[in-house]
């Protein structure tokens, strides 16, 4: 007897909806602005920016919750990146801008080593 392989189907619009969709939209717009400026965004920056978004009074009123209830976990960041079809490894320009105080920090590090 030959068994047919079960095929998983995904229906459009199925699955759990994001609870903080407005806040995620704001974060997505921030990432796009960073990319237009040629700046890189990493996991820590996403986490800090989302935390900052949740401290805004308009967002707190919208969700009736403080920033303490939302946890910016690694799995949430990965899901966010997947939902918005983003990639943090891809360069937005050939050369990305470094922070302004890079030279000062480099000199400070050299003095520390010596």
Answer left, alpha or beta for residue 35, where phi above 0 means left and psi between -120 and 50 means alpha: alpha
For 29-58, what is each residue's pLDDT tens digit?
999 999 888 887 888 999 999 999 988 989
The alpha-carbon radius of gyration of the chain (Å, integer) is 20
Whether 106 is covered by a domain: the verdict is no
Whether 61 is covered by a domain: the verdict is yes
| Residue 3 vs residue 60, higher pLDDT | 60
Question: For 1-114, where are the alpha helices, taking DSSP H only?
Answer: 21-37, 43-54, 57-63, 74-83, 102-113
The number of residues making up the chain comes to: 114
pLDDT at 98: 75
Name the domain count of the chain: 1
Are 30 and 49 in contact by the 8 Å Cβ rule? The answer is yes
pLDDT at 33: 93
Instruction: Examine the pLDDT at 2 and tell me if it is beyond 80.
Output: no
Rounded distance between C-alpha atoms, residue 114 and residue 23, angstroms: 46
For 66-104, what is each residue's pLDDT tens digit?
556 778 888 989 999 999 998 876 555 566 677 788 888
Whether 2 is covered by a domain: the verdict is no
Whether 6 is covered by a domain: the verdict is no
pLDDT at 30: 95
Whether 100 is covered by a domain: the verdict is no
Whether 103 is covered by a domain: the verdict is no
Residue numbers of the domain that contains 66: 21-90
Whether 8 is covered by a domain: the verdict is no
Q: State if pTM tops 0.95.
A: no
């Amino acid at each position: 007897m030959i068994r047919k392989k079960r095929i998983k189907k995904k229906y459009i619009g199925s699955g759990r909806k994001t609870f903080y969709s407005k806040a995620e939209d704001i974060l997505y717009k921030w990432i796009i602005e960073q990319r237009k400026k040629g700046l890189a965004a990493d996991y820590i920056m996403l986490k800090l920016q989302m935390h900052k978004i949740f401290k805004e009074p308009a967002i707190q009123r919208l969700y009736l919750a403080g920033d303490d209830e939302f946890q910016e976990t690694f799995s949430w960041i990965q899901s966010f990146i997947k939902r918005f079809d983003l990639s943090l490894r891809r360069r937005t320009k050939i050369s990305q801008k470094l922070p302004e105080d890079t030279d000062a920090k480099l000199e400070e590090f050299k003095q520390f080593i010596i």
